[in-house]
Structure 1
């Protein structure tokens, strides 16, 4: 379940769940009260396309327990509250038609494009002035990386089951779903943009932790994560969670659900990284 003092709403039109730091409670009838904690870090994350696949479900799976910070969970385009007409069936249809140009590319680009306005709205709404951390799972991790390439103020980043290179993920998904994806100049360009080991220099010296399950596909997730950790200029490591696959919650993954043991382990690794690298 998500925190009892969480506020659910939107920020510049983006669905979000906001959990205040210690001492920041709910003021009756007036939303969250910063209670003098405006200088606490703000940590913003995006969910997976696998379970958990909504901002509320992600907040339950990775509550960042014990981290004294503003925790913000943003919804991905085309997922959660913004599922297209036809729901997940329509998302899957688009994936079968062209997973790169109709799903992964536009979701990554739109989520990154709308971030600045969402963060500005949140900082103004709550008076938040503290340092910025980013996190995400799978496709959401790709969004966190994309945002970090565009900003110079990301103090720490945690990427879970991370999609750090699109091309090998498309290959694995093609095998899984029986699709022989035919690359085009347009989709090649999207894959080049979503190749973060190749763009590692754009991440500057942002401290980066990548967390991968031992049961996840190594060619699509573990090997690219290691490539990225080796390529970045700042502090970086790769944590392998024994026995964990790709997802962080049980299906269907749209609503908040009890935290799994693997998600709790991921949560602890993420909190440790943010505590080490974020300071108000």
Structure 2
């Protein structure tokens, strides 16, 4: 039974484990591309075989938190300063919200003490990476799907797509450094426990995103002393995980099904199976 609610001001969809009752937690952030809401992400990547609570969080500026001006207002923020007012702001706010959201989820859902896992796509992948890098909570593993690994790559794509030149400032350069997870790989792998990481890269995704995924795998691997770091390429996967408009639940695409198979296998290998009845 799907549960919809709000945790510390953040909308969420929670999918229970098949066995019901207490179970570990997998937190999932959606894309700013399609699927661009927690409801749509839960349909695109339900992870039904994973013996955990899967909780899909709505990103800032998206879903029920879309500004009054809708898509036009979001695009105005992109043109004005995509890093400080849109993409970068969404990623940093999502990570900042996480501690209070986690506390609220523990009050609302029967979550077991145990491993915590993060999953995110595109900007949601950036939120997962920033949370992993900076959160004091122990995190056992992360899955980054076509993730925003370097803020400079996001800015370049906006420049190319909108035909504008981004005006860098000291503040935006500092934020870009904070959101460069290739450069911060040593911090990520210095965490204890050292997290296992699955990087999922679509073979039809932006070339720069594919390059960043490869660089992240290499950088994390350079600092690995126990954690597993895997890069998986998905044939036929472009940047989105669902068809447009990506606002409501929709049938899963073949590419998303291929992603789900990889993500489910990664998580199931790390989440204890529920005890069987005698």
Residue in 2 that maps onto 1:30 = none
**How far did residue 172 of structure 1 move?**
1.9
Provide, for residues 193-216 of structure 1, a one-character-per-residue CA deviation record: whole Å limited to 9, x for no partner: 100011112223211111111111
Runs of 4+ in 1 over 6 A off after TM superposition: none
Cα displacement (A) at 1:177: 1.5
Q: Partner of 1:154: helix, strand, or coil?
A: coil
Structure 1 spans left out of the alignment, 5+ residues: 25-33
1:126 CA drift (Å)? 2.1
Cα deviation 1:2-55 (Å, max 9, x = unaligned)? xxx11011111110001111132xxxxxxxxx3xxx2x2210010000000000
Choose which of 59, 62, 72 in structure 2 pairs with 1:89. Answer: 72
Quote the offset at 1:243 in angstroms: 1.7
Where in structure 2 are the equivalents of 1:102-251 lying within 5 Å?
Answer: 102-129=85-112, 130-149=114-133, 150-204=135-189, 205-219=194-208, 221-232=209-220, 233=224, 234-251=227-244
Aligned partners of 2:107, 2:174: CA distance in 1, in Å?
36
CA contact (8 A) 1:65 1:267 kept: no
Give the corresponding residue for 2:276.
none
Deviation at 1:169? 2.0
Residue number among 7, 10, 13 corresponding to 1:11 in the alignment: 7
The DSSP-based 3-state class of the residue aligned with 1:244 is coil
**Contact 1:131/1:279, CA 8 A, preserved across alignment:** no
Q: Give the number of aligned pairs.
A: 262
Q: Where does structure 2 lack aligned partners over 5 or more consecutive residues?
A: 274-278
**Equivalence for 1:70:** 53
Name the counterpart of 2:40: 57
CA distance in 2, matches of 1:80, 1:89: 15
Aligned CA distance change for structure 1 residues 126 and 65 (closer, same or farther; 3 Å): closer
**Map of 2:19 onto structure 1:** 23
**If the length of structure 1 is used for normalisation, what is the TM-score?**
0.90
CA contact (8 A) 2:17 2:48 kept: no
Change (3 A) 1:170 1:157: same
Cα displacement (A) at 1:152:
4.8
| Partners of 1:52 and 1:82 in 2: CA distance | 15
Query: How many angstroms apart in 2 are the aligned matches of 1:223 and 1:277?
Result: 27
SS in 1 for 2:142: strand
What secondary structure sits across from 1:106 in the alignment?
A: helix
SS at match of 1:94: helix
- How far apart are the structure 1 equivalents of 2:99 and 2:137? 12
The aligned counterpart of 1:28 is: none
- 1:29 corresponds in structure 2 to none
1:243 is paired with a residue whose SS is coil
Deviation at 1:65, TM superposition (A): 2.7
